[in-house]
Amino acid sequence: MQKRIIECVPNFSEGRNAETIKQITDSIEAVKGVKLLDVDPGEATNRTVVTFVGEPEAVMDAAVASIKRATELIDMRLHKGAHPRMGACDVCPLIPVSGITMEECAELARTLAKRVAEELNVPTYCYEAAAFKPERRNLAVCREGEYEGLPEKMACEDKRPDFGARPFDEGIARTGATAVGARDFLVAVNFNLNTTSTRRANAIAFDVREKGRPRREGNPIVGKIIKDENGEPIMIPGTLKECKAIGWYIQEYGIAQVSMNMTNLSVTPLHIAFDEVCRAADSRGVRVTGTEIVGLVPKKALVDAGRYFLHKQRRSTGVPERELVRIAIETMGLSNLKEFKPEEKVVEYILEAEQQKGVNKLVDMTCAAFAEETASESPAPGGGSISAYMGALGAALGAMVANLSSHKAGWDDRWEFFSQWAEKGVTVMNELLALVDEDTAAFNKIMDVFAMPKNTPEEKAERSRAMQVATLYATQVPLRTMQTAYKVFEIVKAMAVEGNPNSVSDAGVGALAARSAVMGACLNVKINAAGLKDRETAEALVKEAEKIQQQAQKAEQEILAIVEGKINQ
């Protein structure tokens, strides 16, 4: 299951006092499970933009903590700056990064707005996707009149905040109000051109940006701009929705670029923008020589790009995630100006590295090291982790046969069929690899209980309760391994029947590995279920495990019969 990750980009009304800014960001970093990505103070605006990411619950807690600290340190009665603002924390948008929808993010934003109002006594407006009123999707509507206009807005029924509405008082005078919203991830990207002409770069930018260019009389470059009855220029729209772009010349690189802000990747993905800029550039005799991503990018943008470019080549897209990212980097020339390092530029990889500091994952070991760790006197990894890994190998073999079949000479018309099976194989493989470490984690939870005190009746009762919770978890994890490993049979059977006959034995080994994974995990379900006091639950878990085990044995025999038949033809 994909981990849910969101980004939060609060803007605080302080850009000059470094100590104040640090105290605010310290409150964010004090929350476990979040990663502070960027702190961007502006002296003229007297405003600091902070960016951090994490799982929703941790991000929400960090947002509340930072807004609380900001309201303690910033007095809006004394604030002056060039940027529009209405509160110590002026805006606080939540942005879906992975494993979460915009609708879910909007609900989180509303929950956060309510918390800020109730826990911190700061009035809050909900904007963009979190807005309760259509007009409040526009941040400017929420911030109308800025801080100085709050007394009037608090007294007006239609302009009151969504949460924390009350007459203007000393508390509001100090903290101001906050706008909490949900919006899409903004990707800033520059497309490198083999020209030094800003005019050519601008022409390409106007071709593709959503706003387009003004319609002119006669000459499309210097002709008189045609205006409507209200005196506004009539625009010729560009080809890319939710994209803003201009052309410029970069002295440092000696090239012109199309500089673009992509505000909704679900409407216009990165790879579509790249292809369209290439098309527009080519029509003007210019080439795109590479791409520069400014700041960070969600993993999905690169994975989708890699899959898209492989699909254009009629190549299988059922390859590991890191390979898809590599294809995206190579195709779009992300290392054209300087090396693009995914571990430093991809939001999920940055957060993953932070969370894994000091943690030695089994799946990150070499094959030899994993075997040696298993052979050691340590009780983990044990049979559960080994079962999950065997299942992962079975899925990997299914994906391998699908990929080989996709590229088989003379089977070009079937590449997409095999590509889809390869994708299924990689998905199941990844699920089982995650269960390798989860099974060991489940065992460690039981070991942790043994370390709990048992000196008093209360401590003994809590220890007993914790043991039952840990034992139930340790029973459920191998059952999930069984359920997931069983999915391998569908893949390897399809490959035994339809795949490259030269690889049919690999499909057979995949079935054997999957069967062993199911059988091994079943033993773990049974031994852990024996420790459950809730016998009704224990018996239900074992019953389900035995059912899957029987189905796996039958599936294995069917697949082996197909394999033997093809080998003996």
Question: What distance, in Å, lies between the first and last C-alpha atoms of the chain?
Answer: 41
Residues sharing a CB contact under 8 Å with residue 31, sequence separation 6 or more, in sequence order: 54, 58, 61, 62, 65
pLDDT digits (tens, 9 = 90+) for 59-102: 999 999 999 999 999 999 999 988 889 999 999 999 999 889 99
pLDDT over 80 at 11, yes or no: yes
Among the CATH numbers 3.40.47.10, 1.20.120.680, 2.40.37.10, 3.40.30.10, which is that of 360-567?
1.20.120.680
* Whole-number average pLDDT of the chain: 94
User: Among all residues, which ones are annotated catalytic?
Assistant: 83, 439
Helix (H) or strand (E) holding 24: helix 18-29
Query: CA 149 to CA 249: how far, in whole Å?
Result: 41
Q: Is 272 helix (H, G, I), strand (E, B) or coil?
A: helix
Domain 5-182 CATH assignment equals 3.30.990.10: yes
| 323 contacts 182 by C-beta, under 8 angstroms | no
Provide mean pLDDT across the span 532-551: 96
Task: State how far the Cα of 420 lies from the Cα of 412, in Å rounded to an integer.
Answer: 14
Stretch 345-354: mean pLDDT: 86
Residue 228 pLDDT greater than 90, yes or no = no
CATH 3.30.70.670 is the classification of domain 187-350? yes
> What average pLDDT score do residues 393-402 get?
97
Q: What is the distance of C-alpha 226 from the center of its chain? A: 44
**pLDDT at position 40:** 87
For residue range 361-393, list pLDDT tens digits in order: 899 899 999 999 999 988 878 999 999 999 999
Residue 562 to residues 34, 357, 387, Cα–Cα distance (Å):
51, 47, 24
In 3-state terms, what secondary structure has residue 41?
Answer: strand
272 in Cβ contact with 321 (< 8 Å): no
Q: Do domains 187-350 and 360-567 have the same CATH topology?
A: no
pLDDT at site 432: 97
Q: What integer pLDDT is reported at residue 291 of this predicted model?
A: 96
What is the per-residue pLDDT for 229? 85
β-strands 235-236, 243-250: how paired? unpaired
pLDDT in tens, 320-344: 999 999 999 999 999 999 999 999 8
Instruction: Give the pLDDT score at 358.
Output: 67
Three-state SS string over 397-419 comes to HHHHHHHHHHCCCCCHHHHHHHH
pTM of the complete model: 0.82
One-letter amino acid of 164: G
The C-alpha atoms of residue 406 and residue 422 are separated, in whole angstroms, by 9
Largest CA distance in the chain: 92
Indicate the pLDDT class of residue 1, thresholds 50, 70 and 90. Answer: low
Q: What percent of the chain has pLDDT over 90?
A: 85
**Predicted pLDDT at 542:** 97
Domain ranges of the chain: 5-182, 187-350, 360-567
Summarize pLDDT for 91-146 with one digit per residue, the tens: 999 999 988 999 999 999 999 999 999 999 999 999 999 999 999 999 989 999 99
pLDDT in tens, 259-278: 999 989 999 999 999 999 99
Q: What percent of the chain has pLDDT over 70?
A: 99
**Using a CB cutoff of 8 Å and minimum separation of 24, what contacts does 138-142 make?**
139/91, 139/179, 139/181, 140/84, 142/179
Instruction: Kindly state the average pLDDT of the residues 404-416.
Output: 94
Lowest-pLDDT choice from 240-254, 352-366, 408-422, 466-480: 352-366
